[in-house]
Structure 1
């Protein structure tokens, strides 16, 4: 196996494990899905604190636990009361961190909004649209990976993310469009879902770039080493983070998912 593809085997094996766990939780829904999202969100906050606050003591554990707990409570109370809870972990960071407070607060707000969005999407709109979001983000990542590795070419933002190419970026859009076309064929959304899917793909790539910026400033290659072949939770779910936050905002504009 050439050096260009040496990370493929651990990446595939870890990916299959994550797909199995994620698919089971999505299918089960309810508390199982909520707990999984809360754990992932808390884990991402743990990684975030470790990257931006070099003077931390136990802040990463306290803020991670607060994030998971706030999400679990927020999804089970009226939305008007859930909103303050979703912002509470960001506010707590200002009292716990010596460095990187603003980066932490903004990123954590995105994490909690994305986590709440995915919980609500599964709970309020069922399996169909949660699977659509996951497939769009996964297709963006997979098609982008293989197109970028195979075709190469000009870089998107070499100073921050030297491996990201325009061929991989466009490949991700194509993968998302295919997912949108498949879902459009058997849902009420029609062809417009292709455009929504491409937009979510772009948002997921922006989430990826945002995380790359944080890592660059922190001087680390991966957010952690929790997932073989993928790095950390933020490395794996940064795209889902961007896509889910975008869906919260843009969904109100285009009336998506159906019935929103």
Structure 2
């Protein structure tokens, strides 16, 4: 199928800024320690700032981001039992400060902080390899979904909320995730269940993407901010990672992870 004129106009900008984001992220993951801690705190705080601005223009977005960043920083340095109330507290603070969309802020801010904390713990417990697997699954889902959706096209997934997302791109993301799972299976000696987990992680990342699109549609904004050329804001870039990270936290309580190696 021939690509329509203009639908690739954003490709170069997306690839350039996406490459920088991926490079910084993977370097921080590889270095671990204070570098990855700093990455999770900064990204989470910026996402809270974007979320508050989207939901309520009068909200003290910068202050809420500061509270969230400090709380997450302390949470990642203390035992997990003491970390839990620190993760929940910023959502409660925001609930009291916003005059609109309080429930949305509570749910999404708690999800952001829980995902960031979970990623830090995952890096501490399992090392670089499995964070890299998670990042690559989410990235492959996004990249292959982007190209398949534009080359193949076809029926829309949910046009009222996400008009560019197609079923062909959605399915391509699952296939890409399965291939990533197969590659890591061979490289790590993990069990065949890793392929199924990878596909599920891909689906969860797509749910995170759709959920953020639904929030933007509800409040009438195109992007969460304009920080990243071609991508909008950090929330726009990390919405898939948010869904995938939350799902991985749940998966770890249901199946042995990494499968075949736990």
Q: TM over 0.5: same fold? A: yes
Matched, 1:16 2:14: no
Query: Which residue is 1:44 aligned to?
Result: 47
Query: Which residue is 1:150 aligned to?
Result: 151
Query: Which residue is 1:98 aligned to?
Result: 99
SS of match in other structure, 1:164 = strand
Aligned residues: 258
SS of match in other structure, 2:91 = helix
SS of match in other structure, 1:18 = helix
Contact 2:194 2:258 in 1 (8 A): no
- How far the C-alpha of 1:76 sits from its partner, in A, is 1.3
Report 1:200-215 matches (<5 A).
200-215=201-216
> Which one of the candidate residues 27, 32, 36 is aligned to 1:29?
32
Deviating 4+ runs (over 4 angstroms): none
Contact 2:114 2:246 in 1 (8 A): yes
SS of match in other structure, 2:165 = strand
TM-score by length of 2: 0.96
Query: Which residue is 1:64 aligned to?
Result: 65
- How far the C-alpha of 1:55 sits from its partner, in A, is 2.6
- How far the C-alpha of 1:192 sits from its partner, in A, is 0.8
Contact 2:51 2:105 in 1 (8 A): yes
Contact 1:137 1:240 in 2 (8 A): yes
Unaligned residue ranges in structure 1 (runs of 5+) = none
> Which one of the candidate residues 3, 6, 17 is aligned to 2:9?
6
Contact 1:179 1:197 in 2 (8 A): yes
Unaligned residue ranges in structure 2 (runs of 5+) = none
How many Å separate the matches in 1 of 2:26 and 2:89?
30
Over the aligned positions, Cα root-mean-square deviation in angstroms equals 1.3
Contact 1:140 1:171 in 2 (8 A): yes
SS of match in other structure, 2:223 = coil
- How far the C-alpha of 1:2 sits from its partner, in A, is 3.6
- How far the C-alpha of 1:186 sits from its partner, in A, is 2.0
Range moving further from structure 2, 250-259 or 69-78: 250-259
SS of match in other structure, 1:227 = coil
Contact 1:55 1:99 in 2 (8 A): no
